[in-house]
Amino acid sequence: MNLSLLILLPLLTAIVILLMRNAAQVKWVALAGAAVQFVAAFVLLFQFNHQRALGDKAQMLFETQYNWFPSWNISFHLGVDGISVAMILLTAFVVIAGVLVSWNVTKMTKEFYFLLILLSLGAYGFFISLDLFILFFFLEIAVIPKYLLIGIWGSGKKEYSANKLALMLMGGSALVLVGLLGIYFSGTEHSFDLMRLSQLNIPVSVQMICFPLLFVGFGVFTALFPFHTWVPDGHSSAPTAGSMFLAGISMKLGGYGCLRVATYLLPEGAKEYATIVIVLSVIAILYGAFATMMQKDLKYINAYSSVSHCGFVLLGIGMLTKTSMTGAVMQMVSHGLMTALFFAVIGMIYERTHTRQVNEMSGLLKRMPFIISVLFIVGLCSLGLPGLSGFVAEMTVFVGSWEHPDTFRRVATILATLSIVVTAVYILRAVTKTSMGPLTTGFEKLTDATWNEKLAAVILLAGILAIGLAPFWLNDLVGPGAEIIMNKIGK
Amino acid sequence: MPGLPLFWRGNEGEAIMPNATYIALIPLLPLAGFLMLGIFGRKYFKNTSGVIGTTLLLISTVLALYTAYGYFFEYGKIDGVYQKLIPLKYTWLQFSEGVSIDMGIIIDPISVMMLVVVTFISLMVHIYSLGYMKGDERFPTYYAFLGLFTFSMLGLVISSNIFQIYIFWELVGVSSFLLIGYYYDKPSAVAACKKAFIVTRFADVGFLIGILVLSFYAGTLDFNTLIERLTSAESTEFKTAVAASFMGMSALTWGLVLVFIGGAGKSAMFPLHIWLPDAMEGPTPVSALIHAATMVVAGVFLVARLFPVFAISSPDALSLVGYVGAFSALIAAVIACTQTDIKRVLAYSTMSQIGYMMFALGVSKYGGEDGLGYTASMFHLFTHAMFKALLFLGAGAVIHYIHSNEMKDMGGLRKYLPITHITFLIACLAIAGVPPFAGFFSKEEILLAAYQSNQSIYWVALITSGLTAFYMFRLYFSIFWNREAHVHGEHKGEGGFAMMMPLVLLAIGAAAAGFIPFGHFVSTDGARLETEFHLMFSIAPVALGLAGIFIAMWLYKKASDKPDKIASSLNGLYKAAYHKFYMDEIYMFITQKIIFNLIGRPAAWFDKNVVDGLVNATGNGTKDISETIKGLQSGKVQQYAIYFLVGVIGLALLFIYWWN
Amino acid sequence: MMEPGLYHMLFISATLFFIGVYGFFTRRNLVTMLMSVELVLNSVNLNFIAFNKYLWYDKMDGLFFTIFVIAIAAAEAAVAIAIIINLYRSHNSIDVENAEELKY
C-alpha cells in the first residue's frame, strides 16, 4: 500500500468539501471521506499483517521516499511499523465517529468539516513520517485547526481556552523544534531522517540536552505534569468533535513523539532522565485522578481523567521495558477510543439537557437508555474493567513496570495502581449521579440517540471491545515495534 | 452433549483430558443469554426473556452436573488422587517470555464443586425470579445481568491463570454493582452499589499488587506452574521469593497477604465488610445468588485455590487468614443479633459464615489428615450455599408478601406462608448446626479442625455458633410467630409455583447435603480423606446451639418487652452493635474528611491556582510587559526616526570601539 | 585654485546628510520630509562617487550603486507620494502630526 494515500485521501476530501455548496453535501462528502480513510486504515492493517506473515522482517514496511529539500537532507520519507499502524487505526476510528457526531453542526458547516479533515490529515502524516522535518510539519498542521475549532465553534470561555491551548502547544512545538535541530546538527552528517539517525550514534552530551527538550515538548501534547492545564480548559470549551479529536488524536501525537523520537533516538538521555519521567507521570496519574474527583462538569471530569490516563502512557515509556512500552502504546489506542466515545456521549447528553453539570441532572437512564448504556460502558472502560480496552492497556503497563526489581520503580508502580480506586470513585460518582436516581423534572421529554449518534458510538465501542476481548492482535502488532526501541536502549 | 465423548483418552501414558467443548459451554451459555437479552431484550423479548435465560441456565446446570459426574466418577482420579486437569488453554495476552494471561479451564475438585454450586443456585434464582420479578419494567435487563453474573462467576471458578481469575473477579464485581443498583431510581440503592464497587475495588488493588509480586517471583501467571514453583523448597523461584524481604516479611508472604486482601474485600471480611449489608438494596433473589451463595465466597475460593502456597510456603499469611476469619465471624454474629432489617440480619450472618470458611482454611495444613480444615471449609461453602440461598429466597417470599424489610412489620406469618415457613425453619436449623441438617456436618468438621490446631480460634468459633443459633431463631420467631402482623387485604398468596419450587428444592439440599462424604472428593492433595464424627466432641456445639434457640424462643415467640429490657441493660454494647460498631462512620470520616477534603480538594485547588496560575501568570506577564512598553509605538514617524538614528549612532560607536 | 580632494567631498556629503536628517526630524509636512530623505540619499550617492573616484578609480562599483540608489529613490518617491496623496484624501492634511493612527 502506498502510504501517500493516507495523506492524499484527507487532502482530497478537504478540497472536495470546499467545493460543495450546501451543508448536506458537505456532511456526506466528509462522511464518505472518513469512511474511505477507515477502510484504508483496515487495508493497511491487513496488508501489514500479511507482509509480516510472509516473513518481512524490515523495521518499517511500505517505505516511500521522495527528495524534498536535498540540500538540507530533508526527504519526504514515509513508512510504518506496528506502532504507527495502531495509531493510524485509532485515528481512523476517531475521525469517522467525530464526523458522525457533528451531524447537527449548523454554524459554518463547510469550514467545520474542512478543519476536522485537515486535523486528521496532520495526524496521519505525523504517524507515518520517518523524517523528523516533515514529522514536525504535520505536527503543526494538526495544531492550527484546533485553535479555530475551539475559537469559533466552542462554548464557554472559548477564546481564553483556544489561546491557552494554541500557545501551550506551540510552546511545546518550539521545544521540539529546538530539540530536532539539536539532533540535526549534532553529528558530522546532518540528517533529519529517523532511520538514518537511529544508526548514527548521537553523542551523549547532545542526548542529555535534547532529550528533555523533546520529551517536554512532546509531553505538553500528552498532558505531562505540570504542562497539562490546557487539557481541561481546551477540552471543555471545544465542540464535541473537537474534544474527541483533541483527546483521541492530538494527545496521542505527543505520546507517539515521546516514544518514537525522544526515547528511540536518544536512548542514553532516556535512561538518564527515566527517574524524572516516572516521578512526573506518577504525579500526573494520581494528581489528575484526585483533581478529577472534585470536578462537577462532565467535560472537566473526562478532561482531568485524561491527564490521569495519559500519565500511564508516559509511565509506560519511562519504565523502559518492552512490556511497559507496548502497554503505553496500547493505552494510547485504548484511551483514544475511550475518551473520544466519552466526549461523544457527553456531547449527546449536553445537546439534550443543555447542561453538563453533574448536579443538575439525574435519572437520565429512564429517558435515554442507549446513550446512558454507552456512558456506563465507557465509564467502566475508563476504570479498567476487564473485557474493555482500558484494562488490557493498564495491566500491560503495570506488569511491564513491575519487571524492574528496584524499589523506586516498585513504589511508583504501586502508587500508580492506587489510582484505579480513585478512578472508580470519580467515574461512578459521575455516571451514577447523571443516570440513576429519580429523573430531574423538566427532562421528561428527552429523546434517545439518533442514527448517526448510534453509529458513532457503535464504531468506537467496536474498537474498545476488539481490544478488550482479544488484545493479542494489538499486542502482536505493537510488541515488535516496542522491542526494536528496547533493543536500541539496551545496547 | 450426545455425540461428543465425555473425555479424551490419550495414548498410553498420556493424561486423560475431559472434553473442553461442553465445559466451555457452561459459562458461555449465560454469556450468550446476557448478550441476547442485553442488546435485543427490550425490543423482542419483553416477556419471554425470563424463560430464555432460565432455559440457557438449565442447559448449563445439566452440563455442570455431567462434568461433575464425569470428573468425580469417570476420569478424574489417577491412582486414587484427583488430578488438576487443564483441558483448554488459550494465550490471551503475552507479556513476556513465560508471563502471559491465558484463558483456560482448570478442572479439579474445587472448581467442579463450584461449577455445580454456582449453576444450581443460579438456576434456582432464575426460576424464583420468574415469579418474584414478574411485571417488572426492566425484566429483560434483569435476566441479562443475571446471565452476566453467572458467566463471570463460572469463569472465575474455572480460571487456570491467576490473571484470568482477576479478570472474572472484576467482572463479578461489576455485575454485582449493576444488580445492586437495579432499582436505580432509589437513591439508597445507588449509594449501595457505588459503595460495594468501590470497597471491593480498593481490595482488588491489593489483589493486583499481590498478583504482580507472585508472578514476578514465580515467573509465570499459570496457577499450576505457580503453585509448583512456589511450594517446592528446591526451586530457585521459591528461594528468591523467600529470601527477598520487605519490612520484615518475605516477598512471598507479602504477595499472599495482598492477594488475601483482595479475597477479604470480595468475601466481606473485617474491615472490608461494610459494603455487604448495604448491598441488600438489590432485588432479594440477587442477594441470594450473589451476596450469599456465590460471589461472596470467591475470596474463600481464591485462598483455597492458592492453598498449597499458603500452607507450605507461608504459614504466617495463612494464620492471618485464620484470625481475620475468626474475628469477622464473631463480630458479624454480634451485630446480627441487633439488626431489625431481615435482609441485613442475613447479610451479617453470611459474613459470619464466610468467616467460618476462612478460619477453617486458616487452621488447616497441607496434606492428609492435617488438611481437614480445607475440606471442612469447602464443605461448609457447599452447604452454606444451599441454606443461605434458601434463607434469602424465603426472606424474599416474606418481603414479597408484606412489602417491607423490617421485622416490626412482620409476625405470625406461619399461617399465611406455610411452605415458606417450613423451608425457612429447615434452613434455620441447618445454619444453627442442629443434626442431621447440612450445616451440622460441615460446622462440626470446621470446629474439629480448629480444635486440633488452634484453641483460641476454636473458642471464638464455639461462641459464634451459639450466637448464630440465637440470631437466626430471633429472625425466625419474629417473622413467623410473635404478634400478628397487619396483613393488607389484596394478597395473592405465596407467589406461585415458580417461587415455591426453588424453596422446596433448596430445602431438600439444606436437609440432605450433609450426608455427602465430602472428604472423598475434596481434600488438599486430592487423595481420599475419611472424616469421622466424635459424638463427645459434638455435644458442646449442639448444646450451645440449642441453648441459643431456646433463648430466642423465650424472648421472641410471644410479643413482649423482654428484648427491649435486655437491650437497655446492655446499653453501650447494644448500641455499638446496632450501629455496626460505627464502621460506616469511620469509613465516611476517612473518605469524606481525609480523602476528599485533605487530598482531592487541595489537588483541585492547586491545579486551578498554582499550576494554572503559573500558566496564566506567564500570559499575563507577557501582556503586562507589552502594556508598559507599548508607549514606544506612538505612531509618530519622526519619533521612530530618532530611535533609529540613536540606534545607528550607538551601533556605529560600538563598532568603532571594537575596532580599536 | 585648490583641486577639491576626498575630504571636501566627504564634508559636503556629511553636511548634506545632516541637513537631510535635521529636515526629516523637524519638518511636519510630509512632502518636505520626503525631500529631506532625498537629500540623505543624495549625500550617500556623493559618498559613493567620491570614494570611487579617489580610492578605486579603476572600478565602476560606486557608480553602479549610485545609479541603483537613484532608481530606488525614484520608486520610493513614487510610492511615498502615492501614500501622501491617499493620506490627504482621507485626512485633508499632509501634516505628519495628524497621521498617527498607526500605533500600539
> What is A247-302 written as a DSSP string?
IIIIHHHHHHHIIIIIIHH-HHHHHHHHHHHHHHHHHHHHHHHHHHHT--BHHHHH
Q: How far is CA A404 from CA A400, B217, B220, B237, B253, in A?
A: 8, 12, 16, 16, 20
The CA distance from B114 to B213, in Å, is 27
Using CB atoms, which chains have 3+ pairs under 8 A with A? B
State whether residue B599 sits within 8 Å of chain A by CB.
yes
Tell me the Ramachandran region of residue B581: left when phi exceeds 0, alpha when psi lies from -120 to 50, beta otherwise: left
The CA distance from B381 to B387, in Å, is 10
- Residue B212 has its nearest CB partner, among A229, A369, A402, at A402
Q: At what angle do helices B187-218 and B223-231 cross, to 10 degrees?
A: 60
State whether residue B188 sits within 8 Å of chain C by CB.
no
Q: Give the chain A residue nearest B164 (alpha carbons).
A: A386
Chain C: give the shortest CA distance to residue B644, in Å: 11
Chain B residues closer than 8 Å to A413 by CB: 212
pLDDT (tens digit, 9 = 90+) per residue, A437-476? 788 877 777 788 888 888 999 999 999 999 988 888 988 8
Chain C residues closer than 8 Å to B636 by CB: 96-97, 100, 103
B181 and A436 within 8 Å at the Cβ level: the answer is yes
Mean pLDDT of the region A76-83: 90
Chain A: give the shortest CA distance to residue B258, in Å: 12
Mean pLDDT of the region A188-202: 83
State whether residue B641 sits within 8 Å of chain C by CB.
yes
Q: Give the chain A residue nearest B209 (alpha carbons).
A: A414
pLDDT (tens digit, 9 = 90+) per residue, A283-318? 999 988 888 888 888 889 999 899 999 999 999 999
* pTM as predicted: 0.87
C25 and B630 within 8 Å at the Cβ level: the answer is no
Q: Tell me B627's DSSP state.
A: H
Chain B residues closer than 8 Å to A435 by CB: 184
B633 and C99 within 8 Å at the Cβ level: the answer is no
CB contacts < 8 A, A to B, total 127
Count Cα atoms within 13 angstroms, Cβ side, for A273: 24
The CA distance from B72 to B519, in Å, is 12
Q: Reduce the DSSP state of residue B283 to 3 states and report it.
A: coil
- Is the bond preceding A226 in cis, omega lying within 30 degrees of 0? yes
The CA distance from B226 to B210, in Å, is 13
Chain B residues closer than 8 Å to C100 by CB: 634-636
For residue A162, which of A152, A174, A175, A172 has the smallest C-alpha distance?
Answer: A152
C25 and B641 within 8 Å at the Cβ level: the answer is yes
The CA distance from A257 to A217, in Å, is 9
pLDDT band per the 50, 70, 90 thresholds, residue C43: very high
Chain C residues closer than 8 Å to B630 by CB: 104
State whether residue C84 sits within 8 Å of chain B by CB.
no
Residues 6 or more apart whose Cβ sits within 8 Å of residue A403:
A319, A321, A323, A324, B96, B216
CA A333, chain centre distance (Å): 7
Residues of C numbered 17-76 whose beta carbons fall under 8 angstroms of chain B's beta carbons: which are they? 21, 24-25, 33
Residues of B numbered 64-123 whose beta carbons fall under 8 angstroms of chain A's beta carbons: which are they? 91-96, 99, 101
Q: Total structural domains in chain A?
A: 1
The complex scores an ipTM of 0.90
Chain B: give the shortest CA distance to residue C3, in Å: 31
Q: Is B462 exposed, middle or buried (0-12, 13-18, 19+ CB in 10 A)?
A: middle
Q: Are B465 and B443 in contact (CB under 8 A)?
A: yes
A475 and B94 within 8 Å at the Cβ level: the answer is yes
Chain B: give the shortest CA distance to residue A372, in Å: 12
Count Cα atoms within 13 angstroms, Cβ side, for A337: 32
Q: Reduce the DSSP state of residue B620 to 3 states and report it.
A: helix
Run of H or E including A76: strand A74-80
Q: What's the distance, Cα to Cα, between the start and end of chain C in Å?
A: 57
- What nine digits make up the cell of C42? 543624495
State whether residue B209 sits within 8 Å of chain A by CB.
yes
The CA distance from B110 to B157, in Å, is 8
Residue listed under C-alpha cell 473537537? A242
Using CB atoms, which chains have 3+ pairs under 8 A with C? B
- What nine digits make up the cell of A179? 530539540
B614 and A429 within 8 Å at the Cβ level: the answer is no
pLDDT (tens digit, 9 = 90+) per residue, B521-572? 888 877 777 777 777 777 888 888 888 888 888 887 777 777 777 777 777 7
Residue listed under C-alpha cell 505493537? A478
Helix segments in A54-184, DSSP class H: 82-101, 109-128, 132-153, 158-184
- Residue B635 has its nearest CB partner, among C25, C33, C102, at C102
Residue-wise DSSP of A152-181: HH--SSHHHHHHHHHHHHHHHHHHHHHHHH
Touch of C by A (3+ CB pairs closer than 8 Å): no
Question: Which neighbouring-strand residues pair with B8?
Answer: B17
State whether residue B619 sits within 8 Å of chain A by CB.
yes
B184 and A420 within 8 Å at the Cβ level: the answer is no
Using CB atoms, which chains have 3+ pairs under 8 A with B? A, C
The CA distance from B26 to B44, in Å, is 25
Instruction: Give the model's pLDDT for residue B150.
Output: 92
Q: Average model confidence (pLDDT) for chain B?
A: 84
C103 and B638 within 8 Å at the Cβ level: the answer is no
Q: What is the CATH number of domain C6-98?
A: 1.10.287.3510
Chain A residues closer than 8 Å to B42 by CB: 369
Q: How far is CA A303 from CA A230, A243, A255, A328, A421, in A?
A: 10, 9, 16, 19, 18
The CA distance from A91 to A95, in Å, is 6
Touch of A by B (3+ CB pairs closer than 8 Å): yes
Residues 6 or more apart whose Cβ sits within 8 Å of residue B626:
none
- Residue A428 has its nearest CB partner, among B185, B198, B596, at B198
The CA distance from B632 to B626, in Å, is 10
Chain A: give the shortest CA distance to residue B189, in Å: 9
For residue B184, which of A439, A436, A362 has the smallest C-alpha distance?
Answer: A436
Chain B residues closer than 8 Å to A470 by CB: 92
- Residue B645 has its nearest CB partner, among C21, C96, C104, at C21
State whether residue C87 sits within 8 Å of chain B by CB.
no
Helix segments in B579-636, DSSP class H: 583-588, 601-605, 612-629
State whether residue B187 sits within 8 Å of chain A by CB.
yes
Q: Give the chain B residue nearest A435 (alpha carbons).
A: B184
Instruction: Give the model's pLDDT for residue A33.
Output: 92
A420 and B171 within 8 Å at the Cβ level: the answer is no
- Residue B209 has its nearest CB partner, among A417, A424, A429, at A417
Q: Which residues of chain B have pLDDT under 70?
A: 1-17, 485-494
A164 and B163 within 8 Å at the Cβ level: the answer is no
State whether residue B28 sits within 8 Å of chain A by CB.
no
